[in-house]
């Protein structure tokens, strides 16, 4: 037996070589598949259909899927391992929007649509058949602008010198044009003959400005308020994109400050703006973005969490790819690590970092001030270790989020225990262990309140694509109900921020 097996993914026809026995979750996650319950076999969001090869029926399959479904080849990807060559069909992309309980105002129309989540670090794009709502192709990429600065502020700094802004605008427009062309090519066959009718892009305010070649100066200094953060509408031709059908390209409007249309789309995806009870949407990125509110009124804010959740500025930090420790559990007083891809550990990703610190606190190896009890490092799985400075980075990141959330809740007028739901957006949100997030004081809410919600930005962009085509996309009513709070101007923010840097005492 060779060490590698082939996994073919349908409908895109992509074939991947992976290590025999590798969890499918690790393979598929890198391909943009989401695991709504965090890959714990609690939901059916990641189900796939086996077209060739074999996958045993697991107890979770038997519990969550009907006998007819399992007989038909349906399995939960998060519970399956690639023990031999496989061909699987991804249910998620067949009906990505139509999650089981989503009521969607879907207006079928002809042509293709492209939804793009333009992040500071990563891009995710999907090609949709606007007649059926099905996803035809998926692409992800690292933002090409990153070579001019990893975080938003250094990107803005670059934009403000010489021809920096023009260069950043050129780079990102080129990259999205390339992604769009690649998606259409991926879809192949009949789809290729169809014109692209509509492109919807979402992203934070800096990405919005840099896509449109707007002045980012006002975003660089107090009071950090954009001058023009409304809907941007172009024709593909005007952008220099020769897409068949010359579709309109829209960058959706921002919510306020640095909080952009990624969060506006997140509201649409989570329907927070229709909720009777107070709810929250939290995106744990380098720039943590938070919305708190209900159908009546909402508050939003951004808070500089730093890149610790994405594995950056952590000594052995890495993204959630093969070789990353993604989970740490304490059993019999010892730490046990799970490594993505079932290979030797190479580093630690965001969810592993949160787990490792929670485990260190539980084992008494880290005290509530964040100090390691002895030595300068906590060994996890050789050669990967957690260093004192890594814990400090996490303290800064979690304090920024926790303080932001605390202030927004207070200003909105709700106690933390009145929060009905907390939607956790982003891939990291899918992987983070809720008990660990609570243990370190990042999200001090009951498990049932915290809902990993996947890439809500991309989901919301798709909802806009599939909605009524004559909707102008200005979202004037929704935006008028959201007020931006500048945390830096809140006199108490820095005190609360410092306060939140500590870890909670263990609960007996």
Partner 1 sequence: MTPIECLFKAVIDGDAKTARIVTADALQAGVPALDLVMEGMMPAMDEAGRRFECSEFFVPELLLSARAMKSALELIRPILAQTGAKPAGRVAVGTVRGDLHDIGKNLVSAMLEGAGFEVVDLGVNVAAEKFIDAVRTKDVKIVAMSALLTTTMESMRTTIEAFRTAGLRDQVRILVGGAPVTQRFADEIGADGYSASAPGAVLLARKAMSGTA
Q: What angle do CA 101, 107, 111 make, to 5 degrees?
A: 120
Helices (H) and strands (E) in the chain, counts: 17, 24
Nearest-approach distance from CB 499 to partner 1, in angstroms: 7
> Which member of 162, 221, 374, 415 binds partner 1 (CB under 8 A)?
221
What is the distance between the alpha carbons of residues 368 and 382, in angstroms, rounded to a whole number? 25
Segment interacting with partner 1, rule: CB under 8 A, options 3-11, 114-122, 154-162, 377-385? 154-162
Q: What is the contact mask toward partner 1 in residues 357 to 376, using x (rule: CB under 8 A)? A: ------------xxx----x
Q: Does 315 bind partner 1 (CB under 8 A)?
A: no
Instruction: Please check whether residue 253 is in contact with residue 204, taking contact to mean a CB–CB distance below 8 angstroms.
Output: no
Strands 47-52 and 74-76: antiparallel
DSSP state letters, 407-464: HHHHHHT--GGG--EEEEESHHHHHS-HHHHHHTTSS-S-GGGEEEEE-HHHHHHHHH
Q: Which is nearer to partner 1, 192 or 371 (CB)?
A: 371
What is the distance between the alpha carbons of residues 419 and 443, in angstroms, rounded to a whole number? 12
Restricting to residues 133-152, which ones interact with partner 1 according to CB under 8 A? 149
Q: Does 288 bind partner 1 (CB under 8 A)?
A: no
Q: Does 388 bind partner 1 (CB under 8 A)?
A: yes
Nearest-approach distance from CB 274 to partner 1, in angstroms: 34
Count of residues interacting with partner 1 (CB under 8 A): 25
> Which member of 19, 377, 488, 496 binds partner 1 (CB under 8 A)?
488
Q: Which is nearer to partner 1, 116 or 440 (CB)?
A: 440
Nearest-approach distance from CB 220 to partner 1, in angstroms: 4
- The count of C-alpha atoms lying within 13 angstroms of the C-alpha of 388, restricted to the half-sphere facing its C-beta, is 8
> Which member of 111, 157, 416, 467 binds partner 1 (CB under 8 A)?
157
Phi, psi (degrees; rounded to nearest 5) at 324: -85, 135
Instruction: Return the closest-CA partner of residue 307 out of 396, 220, 210.
Output: 396
> Which member of 227, 228, 274, 499 binds partner 1 (CB under 8 A)?
499
Nearest-approach distance from CB 364 to partner 1, in angstroms: 17
Phi, psi (degrees; rounded to nearest 5) at 5: -130, 165
Positions that interact with partner 1 (CB under 8 A): 149, 153-154, 156-157, 160, 220-222, 369-371, 376, 388-389, 392, 395, 488-489, 494, 497-499, 501-502
């Amino acid at each position: 037996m060779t060490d590698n097996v082939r996994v073919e993914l349908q409908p895109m026809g992509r074939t991947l070589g992976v290590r025999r026995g590798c969890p499918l979750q690790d393979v598929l996650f890198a391909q943009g598949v989401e695991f709504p319950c965090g890959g714990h076999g609690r939901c059916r969001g990641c189900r796939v259909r086996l077209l060739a090869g074999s996958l045993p029926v697991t107890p979770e399959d038997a519990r969550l899927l009907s006998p007819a479904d399992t007989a038909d080849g349906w399995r939960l990807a998060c519970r399956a391992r690639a023990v031999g060559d496989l061909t699987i069909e991804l249910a998620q992309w067949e009906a990505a929007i139509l999650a089981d309980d989503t009521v969607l105002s879907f207006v079928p129309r002809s042509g293709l649509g492209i939804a793009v989540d333009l992040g500071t670090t990563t891009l995710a794009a999907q090609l949709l058949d606007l007649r059926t709502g099905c996803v035809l192709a998926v692409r992800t990429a690292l933002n090409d602008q990153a070579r001019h600065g990893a975080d938003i502020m250094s990107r803005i700094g670059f934009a403000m010198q010489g021809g920096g802004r023009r260069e950043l605008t050129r780079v990102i427009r080129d990259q999205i044009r390339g992604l769009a062309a690649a998606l259409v090519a991926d879809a192949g066959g009949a789809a290729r003959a169809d014109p692209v009718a509509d492109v919807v892009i979402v992203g934070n305010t800096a990405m919005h400005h840099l896509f449109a070649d707007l002045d980012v100066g006002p975003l660089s200094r107090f009071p950090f308020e954009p001058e023009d953060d409304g809907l941007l509408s172009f024709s593909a031709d005007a952008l220099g994109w020769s897409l068949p059908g010359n579709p309109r390209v829209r960058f959706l409007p921002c919510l306020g400050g640095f909080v952009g249309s990624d969060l506006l789309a997140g509201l649409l995806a989570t329907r927070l703006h229709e909720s009777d009870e107070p709810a929250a949407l939290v995106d744990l990125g380098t720039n943590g973005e938070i919305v708190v509110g209900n159908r009546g009124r909402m508050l939003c804010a951004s808070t500089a969490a730093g890149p610790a959740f994405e594995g950056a500025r952590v000594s052995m930090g890495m993204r959630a790819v093969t070789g990353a420790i993604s989970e740490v559990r304490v059993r019999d007083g010892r730490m046990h690590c799970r490594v993505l891809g079932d290979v030797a550990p190479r580093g630690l990703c965001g969810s592993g970092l949160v787990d490792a610190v929670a485990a260190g606190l539980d084992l008494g190896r880290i005290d509530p001030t964040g100090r390691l009890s002895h030595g300068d490092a906590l060994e996890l799985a050789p050669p990967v270790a957690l260093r004192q400075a890594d814990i400090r980075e996490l303290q800064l990141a979690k304090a920024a989020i926790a303080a932001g959330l605390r202030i927004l809740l207070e200003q909105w007028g709700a106690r933390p225990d009145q929060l009905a739901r907390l939607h956790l957006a982003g891939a990291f949100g899918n992987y983070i262990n809720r008990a660990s997030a609570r243990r370190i004081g990042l999200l001090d809410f009951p498990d049932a309140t915290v809902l990993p919600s996947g890439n809500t930005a991309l989901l919301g962009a798709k909802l806009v694509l599939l909605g009524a085509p004559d909707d102008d996309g200005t979202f004037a009513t929704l935006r008028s109900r959201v007020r931006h709070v500048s945390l830096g101007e809140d006199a108490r923010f820095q005190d609360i921020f410092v306060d939140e840097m500590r870890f909670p005492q263990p609960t007996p």
